[in-house]
Amino acid sequence: MAHEHKLAIFRGSLKFKSNVQKIWGVFILLSIVTIVEVALGIVKPEFLTDTKFLAMKLLNWIFIILTLVKAYYITWDFMHMRDEKSSLRRSVIWTAVFLICYLVLILLIEGDYIYEVYRSNYIKFNF
């Protein structure tokens, strides 16, 4: 495994000649994604902040999806997950992804519930 790298990204549609080239390619991709994120964060287009999808602003969905894209390429190409055996990949990724999703879901629902309790309560919190 030490000398063999899978050199194609985007499901094989973009092939690199060497591993070093692939690294620079991924770096350019990560830079573009970051620049897009920062630009959106500064401009904050109104149609993205006003539209909501599943109780969250469209802009925030875009940020989260772009973050996951970046995380994918860091893990797959910088940490060489692409070259590992699928059993190793799954034991690392699936475990982490499942536990994190579960934890986030539970804590966010609970946080929102407490917010409702504070808001519809007879006790005043804003003084």
Partner 1 sequence: MEATVVKTGTEGKTWGGGNRPLRASYGKLMMWFFIVSDALTFSGFLASYGFSRFKFIDAWPIADEVFTHFPFLHGVEAPMYYVALMTFILIFSSVTMVLAVDAGHKMQKNKVILYMFLTILGGIAFVGSQAWEWATFIKGDYGAVETKGGRILQFLNTEGERVAIADFATNIPGARETHAESNGVWYQQEATQTTFTFEEVKAGFLANDDILIRTQYLNEAGEPTVLSREESINKLTNDGALVVEGANLRHNEYGHPLFADFFFFITGFHGFHVFSGVIINIIIFFNVILGTYERRGSYEMVEKVGLYWHFVDLVWVFVFTFFYLV
Write out the residues near partner 1 by the rule CB under 8 A.
1-3, 19-20, 23-24, 27, 30-31, 34-35, 37-38, 41-42, 49, 60, 63-64, 66-67, 70-71, 74-75, 77-80, 84-85, 87-88, 91-92, 95-96, 99-100, 103-104, 107-108, 110-112, 114-115, 118-119, 124-127
Which residues are 56's β-sheet partners? 53
Contacts of 21 (CB under 8 A, 6+ apart): 7
**Least distance in angstroms from the C-beta of 21 to partner 1:** 10
Half-sphere exposure (Cβ direction) of 115: Cα atoms closer than 13 Å: 6
Q: Which C-beta is closer to partner 1: that of 15 or that of 80?
A: 80
Is there a contact between 15 and 7 (Cβ–Cβ < 8 Å)? yes
Nearest one of 12, 9, 49, 54 to 28, comparing CA atoms = 9
Question: How far apart are CB 39 and partner 1 at their closest, in Å?
Answer: 9
In the complex with partner 1, the residue whose CB is nearer, 15 or 18, is 18
